[in-house]
């Protein structure tokens, strides 16, 4: 941003305080005028905020309340909701055969996918900071996979890791290694998605890279003069300066993992290899052996494959409660998500 223009058309240099315009004392214009202008201002504020407020009401507050109501009903979208009290919750906590599997799968992604992705992103960013030659090319190479639409990258990975004909196992075979069944084996399907996660780590890698480049060189030099070795420099100089970024990556990563859907759903559908001629998407979700069935997919299956919208709402309410707890725990440590947070 080189310069920008004010209403009057004078260029104002950006990044510096505004042109020296002496702060004027409030005009002694009488209470009436002040209150009228204040009222006008309030109306403008309201007008500017109105769409967003309406959006919050329609697409956030109302659905939350409605979900709670639906969760006490049997509702198939063909007949009106029928009140059945706590029956859905009873089924959820004591009978649902898959909700626990789906919860554990989701937690698996929170516990493994998020940190592994962050470690790789941080490691590669660390290498890139030191690369002097053709740094732009390196960055593009490692960033590019993050751009590939998730559906496309999953379809591609299921093909690449296809145990029968995919290139990965062929190359492993060339080195005399018998490759696993990847997306077709319940024990390997989640790790396969972690590999995919590493491949697309570019977006957080770029953030780490920027943070690392921001660390002033002098700090390293000073630490070096004080006799700090490489590890100590990492501990006392690098780490403190990237902590906010790390927190950001953890929070967004956990949130993404809690709602993990697309990658797992598409991987199941494509790896299953069965033509979905008559049944529909829901039938393939979780393949192989429910190993990729995440909580949000289970909610989708109950709601939109089985058309048990009442029960799916109970799942949604539970998800809301659990996600809120996670958020409260994480957000208390992160300033930007509080109203006082500044850039």
Partner 1 sequence: MPLHSSQHARLAAVAALATAAALTLAGCSAGESGSDFESSTPTSLEGTVSFWHFFSDREAGVIQSVVDDFEAANPGVTVTVHEGQDDEKLRKAIATGDKVDLGLSYSTDVVGNFCSTGAFRDLGEVITRDKVDLEQFSDTVRSYTEFDGVRCTMPVLADVYGLYYNKDLLEAGGYTAPPTTLSELQDMAIKLTTFNDDGSIKTLGFNPMMGWYENSAAHLGPLGAAEWLNADGTSAIAGSPGWTELMEWQKGFIDELGYDKVNAFTAGLGQEFSADNAFQRGSVAMNLDGEYRTAFIADQAPELNYGTAPMPVIDSDPELYGGGYITGNIAGISKGSKNPELAWALLKYLTTDTDAVVKLSNGLKNAPTTADALASPDLEVSEQFQTFLDIMGDPHSATTPPSPLGAGYQQTFEDFWHSYQSGAVDDLPAGLAEVDTQINDSLSLVSGP
Partner 2 sequence: MIRRTLYWIGENAILLALAVMFVSPIVFVALTSLMSSNQTLTAALWPQPFEWSNYATVFTQAPLLRWFANSATYAVLATVFMLLSSVPAAYVLAKIKFRFANVIFTAIIIAMLLPPQVTAIPIYVMWSNLGLTGTLWPLILPNLLGDAFSIFLLRQFFLTIPSEYADAARIDGNGEFGVLTRVMVPMAKPGIAATGIFMFFHSWNDYFGPLLYTSENADAWPVAYGLASFRGIHGTDWGLTMAMTILVTVPVVLIFFFAQRVFVEGITLTGVKG
User: Which residues of this protein are in contact with partner 1, per CB under 8 A?
Assistant: 38-39, 41-42, 46, 50, 53-54, 56-58, 61-62, 66, 74, 76-81, 87-88, 91, 95, 97, 162-165, 173, 181, 184-186, 271-283, 288-290, 304-308, 311
What distance in Å separates the CA atoms of residue 122 and residue 103, rounded to the nearest whole number? 28
Binder of residue 262, out of partner 1, partner 2, none (CB less than 5 to 8 A by kind): partner 2
What is the dihedral sign for C-alpha 160, 165, 171, 177? positive
Q: Which does 305 bind (CB under 5 to 8 A by kind): partner 2, partner 1, none?
A: partner 1
Q: Which residue has the tokens 């409660």?
A: 321
Tokens matching residue 181: 């069944």
Backbone φ, ψ for residue 259 (5° rounding) = -110, 20
Buried b (16+ CB within 10 A) or exposed e, 288-318: bebbbbbbbbbbbbbbebeebbbbbbbbbbb
Q: Is 250 in the site for partner 2 (CB under 8 A)?
A: no
What part of residues 51-90 is at the interface with partner 2 (CB under 8 A)? 51-56, 58-64, 66-67, 70, 77
Using CB under 8 A, pick the residue from 29, 45, 86, 177 that binds partner 2.
Answer: 45
Chain-centroid distance, C-alpha 214: 24
Q: Are strands 73-74 and 3-5 parallel, antiparallel or unpaired?
A: unpaired
Which one, 50 or 222, has the nearer CB to partner 1? 50
331 lies in the site for partner 2, by CB under 8 A: yes
List the interface residues with partner 2, window 107-166 (CB under 8 A).
Answer: 124, 127-128, 130-131, 138, 141-142, 144-145, 147-152, 155-157, 159-160, 165
Identify the residue among 211, 223, 292, 301 touching partner 2 (CB under 8 A): 211
């Amino acid at each position: 941003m080189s310069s920008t223009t004010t209403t009057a058309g004078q260029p104002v240099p950006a990044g510096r305080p505004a042109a020296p315009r002496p702060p004027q004392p409030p005009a002694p214009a009488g209470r009436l005028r002040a209150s009228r202008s204040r009222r006008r201002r309030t109306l403008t504020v309201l007008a500017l905020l109105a769409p967003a407020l309406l959006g919050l009401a329609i697409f956030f507050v109302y659905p939350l309340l409605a979900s709670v109501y639906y969760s006490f009903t049997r509702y198939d979208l063909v007949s009106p909701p029928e009140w059945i009290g706590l029956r859905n919750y009873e089924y959820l906590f004591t009978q649902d055969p898959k909700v626990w599997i789906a919860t554990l799968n989701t937690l698996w992604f929170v516990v493994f996918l998020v940190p592994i992705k962050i470690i790789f992103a941080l490691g590669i960013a660390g290498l890139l900071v030191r690369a002097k030659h053709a740094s732009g090319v390196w960055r593009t190479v490692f960033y590019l996979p993050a751009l590939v639409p998730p559906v496309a990258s999953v379809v591609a990975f299921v093909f690449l890791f296809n145990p029968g004909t995919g290139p990965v196992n062929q190359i492993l075979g060339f080195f005399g290694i018998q490759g696993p069944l990847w997306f077709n084996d319940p024990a390997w399907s989640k790790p396969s998605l972690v590999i995919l996660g590493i491949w697309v780590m570019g977006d957080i890698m770029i953030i780490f890279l920027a943070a690392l480049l921001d660390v002033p060189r002098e700090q390293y030099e000073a630490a070096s003069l004080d006799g700090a070795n490489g590890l100590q420099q990492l501990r006392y100089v690098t780490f403190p300066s990237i902590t906010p970024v790390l927190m950001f990556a953890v929070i967004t990563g956990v949130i993404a993992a809690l709602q993990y859907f697309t990658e797992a759903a598409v991987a199941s559908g494509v790896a299953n290899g069965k033509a979905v001629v008559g049944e529909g998407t829901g039938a393939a979700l979780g393949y192989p052996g429910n190993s990729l069935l995440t909580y949000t997919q289970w909610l989708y299956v109950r709601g939109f494959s089985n058309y048990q919208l009442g029960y799916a709402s109970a799942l949604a309410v539970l998800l809301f409660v659990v996600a809120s707890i996670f958020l409260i725990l994480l957000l208390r440590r992160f300033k930007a998500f509080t109203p006082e947070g500044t850039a």
